[in-house]
Amino acid sequence: MKNSRVYDCSIIELDKHHHEKGNITVIENRNTIPFETKRIYYLYDVPGGESRGGHAHKELSQLIVAVSGSFSVTLDDGVVKRTFLLNRPYQGLYIIPGIWRTLDDFSSGSVCLVLASHPYYEEDYIRDYNEFLSCKLTKKR
C-alpha cells in the first residue's frame, strides 16, 4: 500500500469478440486480470458534474470499465497524479491498493463497472486525503 505508485496501474486491453449482431467482451479471474474477483458493482445515473471516489483502499485491487459512455479517473499516489479517460467497453483500468482515485466527467447515461478483489469492508477505505498522504509519506517508498 505505502509503496504503490500510479505507474503500477495500467489500462488492460480486454478481448473483444466482434460479431455482426453485437460485440462481447469477457473478463476472467487471473487470466484477464491479476486478481480474483469477489465483488462486482456498477455506478449509473451519476448526475452531471458529480464526482465519485475520493478515497484510497488499503488492500483492495480493482478493475474499472466504462461499459457505456465515458468518465475520467484520476489516480494519485501522493507524489504523482495520472488521469485516464475511460470510454471503451473493451478497456479496463487496473488499480492496485494504496492509490487515491477520483472519478469525474461522467457522460450522460454512462455506466461504470467495477470488479473488486474483496467484499465490501469500510475499514479498507482511507477517506481522508491528509491521512492518505501521511500514510504514504511517513513510510519508506
Out of 1, 53, 69, 129, which residue is the one contacting ligand TYD (CB under 6 A)? 53
* Backbone phi and psi for residue 6, each to the nearest 5 degrees, phi listed first: -60, -25
38-69 b/e (C-beta count within 10 Å ≥ 16 → b):
eeeeebeebeeeeeebeebbeebbbbbbbbeb
Applying CB under 6 A, does 52 fall inside the site for ligand TYD?
yes
Rounded to a whole number of angstroms, the minimum distance from the CB of residue 96 to ligand TYD is 16
Instruction: Reply yes or no on whether 55 is catalytic.
Output: yes
Rounded to a whole number of angstroms, the minimum distance from the CB of residue 120 to ligand TYD is 3
Q: Which residue has cell 478493475?
A: 63
Applying CB under 6 A, does 41 fall inside the site for ligand TYD?
yes
Q: Which is nearer to ligand TYD, 127 or 141 (CB)?
A: 127
DSSP code string of 71-89? EEEEEE-SS-EEEEEE--T
Active-site residue identified among 18, 19, 55, 57: 55
Q: Would you please indicate which residues are annotated as catalytic (active-site) residues?
A: 55
Please report, as ranges, the residues that interact with ligand TYD according to CB under 6 A: 39, 41, 43, 52-53, 120
